[in-house]
Structure formats: C-alpha cells, structure tokens
Amino acid sequence: MSTHCGYVTIAGRPNVGKSTLLNRLLGQKISITSSKPQTTRHLLLGIKTLEGDQIIYVDTPGLQTQHRKAINRYMNKAATGALSGVDLVLFVVEAGKWSEEDEWVLGLLKEHSASVLLVINKIDHLENPNELLPFIETLSLKHAFITLCPLSALKNDNVDTLESLLLEHLPEGLPLFPEEQLTDRSERFLAAEIIREKLIRRLGSELPYQLSVEIELFKSENKLLRIAAIIWVERDSQKSIVIGKHGELLKIVGSEARKDMETLFDNKIFLQLWVKVKSGWSNDEKALRQLGYREE
C-alpha cells in the first residue's frame, strides 16, 4: 500500500482563521490565536502523521498589502516564501466576505506553480446559510482550484473532510519526519509564543503589535521547568500598561501562560516575566534579527 507525504502551505489575508485551522487539523494547539489580525508572525510547521501518510502544514503570517514597518515586511516575506516549493496551498477565506486583500493574495498564488485548494472558513458566522452556495459559485470562477471545502475551524465542522481531500491530492512518498514529531519549532519558541498570545488577548488594539517576547532561561530542574522571559515594548508608557496597576495584568498573563505551558510541555512550570523597553524595535531590522526574526 502506497503512502503519501507533502508540504501544505496555509495562506490567506490576516484574520481568516489560518492558525485555528492548523490547530484543529493537528488535534493539538501549537499555533497561537486571537481575534486580532496579524497574530502569527513566523512560519510554523505542523506535522500530522496518519497510518504512514504524513501532511506537513506550513502556517504563515497573514499576507498584507501594507508594509509600514520592518516587521510587516518580514512577515510578508516569510509568507510569500512559503508559497514556493510546496505540494499544495490551502487558500483560506472567510465565508461571505471577499475583499481587495483576498483578491491580492489570489494574485500572488497565481504566480506560483503549486495547486490551490480553496478553504471557506467561518461558515458558522453566516447569518443566512443560503448565502454560501452563491459565494462558492462566485469564487469558483476566479481560479482553477483543484477543489474547495467549506468548514468552520472553530466549531470543528467539516475539518475531517478537508484532511481527506488533502490526502487525495498529496504525492506518493515516505514520511519526512518521525511519527511522534508535531512541529519543527523548539520548546523555547513555543513558550515565547504562548506568552505573546496571552498579552495580545489582554491588551488593546495597537500595543500587541509593538511587543515581542524573548526567552532568557529554559531549564529543567527536579521535575520543574524554569522559564524566564523578557517582554520587549517600544516605550516606557507601554511598559506600565503591560505591567498593569500593582502588577495585576502581568500576573494574569503569567498565570494563563503557565497553565498553557504545563499542558503543552506536560510539566510543572515556574515562570518569571520582565518587561523592558527597546525603542523602535519593530522598525529596526537589526533589532528584529536579535529578537529572532530571521529569514526562514
């Protein structure tokens, strides 16, 4: 019996649910999510092995038409780079919504040779389910998609169908990663992302885009995992916001992050957080490299 293996890039504009979809496909959370756009900043491999078949998902930052800062240029470069040399692209859009950004992303996909499978996410958000079929018919005329799949990643509705479709279209081949491996990223990276997720969810609309998390210590001691992290912001005023009154916000973020880490790493966690200022880091390419934003 032949086995199938291949790389599948998950692409789309910001906030269409790409990371939620990846987590649902894997059956485990490895990619951070929030209701705010541009939560994902890095490429992230999610590896799913099924009875000898292996699907290697590539989660990408949302493709943006605006490149205001160095970090936005980095994110777009990472996302567009993930469209080359893969076997399939999942083009994720939001049910009932088609924007100029979606059209622009589709234009990028047409420049690459990979086959494209259209994923219409958030079907549970449609006020009138009868709107779905006309929406599908309209999008079907825009490109020769190999197939399409309407689903709700959040509600886990029809996600299994998508996985079956992927296996039908992946090339024959042996697995490239060990069966038990879930991602290519280190535990340090995953810890930093968990902290950043909790900050994004707790803070206002602008500040999350001007902070980054760096792990300074990641050490196992007597069945306890010690993790120390720096939260970098760009201004002193932001530092006080992240810490919160009497340190309350930072305590909440630390508590929420620790719980998620204990689940992910299956270990007791001792977590320490500090907030420091690095002026203008998000528009400084040297500072970005120092904080781990390197070409992937």
CB 76 within 8 A of CB 43: no
- With tokens 């508590």, the residue in question is 255
So what's the pLDDT on residue 76? 86
So what's the pLDDT on residue 69? 82
Note the pLDDT tens digit of each residue in 71-89.
Answer: 888 888 888 888 888 999 9
- pLDDT top residue among 25 and 222: 25
So what's the pLDDT on residue 292? 80
pTM over 0.95: no
Query: Residues 151-165: what's their mean pLDDT?
Result: 96
Residues linked to residue 152 through DSSP beta bridges, in sequence order: 157
So what's the pLDDT on residue 215? 96
Query: Residues 22-50: what's their mean pLDDT?
Result: 90
So what's the pLDDT on residue 61? 86
Note the pLDDT tens digit of each residue in 196-236.
Answer: 999 999 997 777 778 999 999 999 988 899 999 999 999 99
So what's the pLDDT on residue 5? 96
Write out the two tokens for 285. 């390419």
Query: Residues 108-122: what's their mean pLDDT?
Result: 94
So what's the pLDDT on residue 296? 61
- With tokens 């996909």, the residue in question is 109
Backbone angles phi, psi at 60, to 5 degrees: -125, 155
Give the DSSP letter string of 208-276.
Answer: GGG-EEEEEEEEEETTEEEEEEEEEESSHHHHHHHH-GGGHHHHHHHHHHHHHHHHHHTSEEEEEEEEE
Cα(169)–Cα(172) distance, rounded to whole angstroms? 9
Give the DSSP letter string of 64-89.
Answer: -S---SHHHHHHHHHHHHTTSS-SEE
State yes or no: pLDDT of 66 exceeds 80: no
* Edge-to-edge order in the sheet of strand 224-233: 212-221, 224-233, 268-277
CA atoms within 13 A on the CB side of 270: 9
pLDDT band at 153; cut points 50, 70, 90: very high
State yes or no: pLDDT of 259 exceeds 80: yes
Can you list the domains of the chain with their CATH numbers?
Answer: 5-169 (3.40.50.300), 187-290 (3.30.300.20)
Write out the two tokens for 140. 């079907």
Closest CA to 89 of 170, 26, 150: 170
Chain mean pLDDT for the chain:
92
Note the pLDDT tens digit of each residue in 284-293.
Answer: 888 888 888 8
State yes or no: pLDDT of 67 exceeds 70: no
